[in-house]
Amino acid sequence: MLLVLLGLAAFGLLTSTVFAGMVLAGMRHYLRSCPGNETADHFAPPLSLLKPLHGDEPGLAAHLATFFEQDYPEYEILFCAADAADAGLAVARAVAGRYPQIPVQFLTTGTPKYINAKVHSLELMTAAAKYPILVISDSDVRVRHDYLRAVSAPFVDPKVGGMTCLYRGVAAEGGLWAHLEAVGMSVEMTAGVLVANMLEGTQFALGPTMAFRKECIDAMGGMGTIGDYCSDDYLLGNEVHRQGKTMVLSHHIIDHMIINSSLTDSLKHQARWMKSTRFSRPKGHFGTALTFSLPFGLLGLVAGLAMGRPLLGAAMLAWSVLTRWMIAWAAGYMVVGETNPVLLYVLFPIRDLMGFGFWVASYLSSEILWRGKVYELLPRGRMRLIR
């Protein structure tokens, strides 16, 4: 039995080491590419920036202000919430009042007609948008002044139908759990995207920032076609790819603010995300188990100690940590620019172990809790309201 456990640990360390090597290769591939001629400063088409809102959140006013302070000649911002009295919409109105030179529209959906209320907001904003390129950004995002220039640049190529940005997790209010979630975004998520981008190109979009030609949204039948799905960002990018258009992974990195500072909120958010991935991309999600390293390193340590071979067990654990440091350096430092060594080299190995736990938990139930309601996840990530 101990030999079986040791063999399983060795197999897991082998596969996770191969994955670490793929991340390094994916980093090299990404950094050497130049998607969408991002230095084409002369190209600046008018843009419609869509911002769905749902209540107030820490730092919302400051984050929204960064979208009004863009070094860009012509764009509009559209905000949408379920209710005119929404606290987030009130914050957006106050911020917009400080920038009268930027055209703004404020919309409300009333009772959402789709399970995914965000999609209803996107549908209304798309219909109201004046310009043919739509930039969609979550409320918990902070950007630099050159954000819109980077987002628009890939569309100089008429074959490009959409683009998306990698992001760096930032614990807005500090706290251990927020930092662990942030390093998962900065490193774990980025690592997976780098490998996917290297192997098959970008066939998806990432929710914090994605941009599409309006004609591509129309060609898929409009935003409403994904109204009952959890992973709306993935489906939008995948649909554009299926239309034969190019999806571009930008070199512009944005900040994704983590507002789940408590353990409970952080666990709920990450569990929901892991379950949605399981249903949206079931084959890839299943294989994710072989990319984690710390669980196999700890298994090797336990087996080695039980067999009277403590040095072997310790070596297996040390190797598992080393491969996580490799990924943290490649994805976290070299790609998204995270420079805090504590986050990268102390917290990421812990996050790797937590990630495996979330992966296991994703198979224990098909239910998710989202904004106070419980949904059952169906194939491709379709949601069904339970209570």
Q: What is the pLDDT of residue 40?
A: 55
- Say if strands 167-171 and 254-258 run parallel, antiparallel, or are unpaired: parallel
Q: Provide the residue-wise pLDDT of the chain in tens; the chain has 387 residues.
A: 888 999 999 999 999 999 999 999 999 999 998 664 555 568 899 999 999 999 998 899 999 999 999 999 999 999 999 999 999 999 999 999 999 999 999 999 999 899 999 999 999 999 999 999 999 999 999 999 999 999 999 999 999 999 999 999 999 888 899 999 999 999 999 999 999 999 999 999 999 999 999 999 999 999 999 999 988 999 999 999 999 999 999 999 999 998 876 777 777 778 888 988 898 888 889 999 999 999 999 999 999 999 999 999 999 999 999 999 999 999 999 999 999 999 999 999 999 999 999 999 999 988 888 777 788 898 888 888 887
Number of domains in the chain: 1
Cβ-Cβ contacts under 8 Å for 145 (sequence gap 6 or more): 66, 69, 70, 71
Q: If you write DSSP's letter for every residue of 194-251 in order, what string do you get?
A: HHHHHHH---S-BTTEEEEEHHHHHHTT-GGGGTTBS-HHHHHHHHHHHTTPEEEE-S
For residues 359 and 12, give the distance between their C-alpha atoms in angstroms, rounded to a whole number: 15
pLDDT in the model for residue 157? 94
DSSP one-letter code for 297:
H
The CATH number of whichever domain residue 383 belongs to comes to 3.90.550.10
The residue range of the domain holding 173 is 1-387
C-beta separation of 240 from 287 below 8 A = no
Q: What is the pLDDT of residue 357?
A: 94
Closest CA to 48 of 105, 93, 97, 100: 105
Interatomic CA distance for residues 91 and 53, integer angstroms: 10
Helix, strand, coil percentages for the chain (3-state, nearest 5): 55, 15, 30
Using alpha carbons only, what angle is made at residue 124 by residues 122 and 127, rounded to the nearest 5 degrees? 105
Residue 264 is predicted with a pLDDT of 79
pLDDT in the model for residue 281: 86
Q: What is the pLDDT of residue 336?
A: 97
Are residues 48 and 76 in contact, defined by beta-carbon separation less than 8 angstroms? yes
Q: Nearest Cα to 343, choosing from 205, 170, 196? A: 170
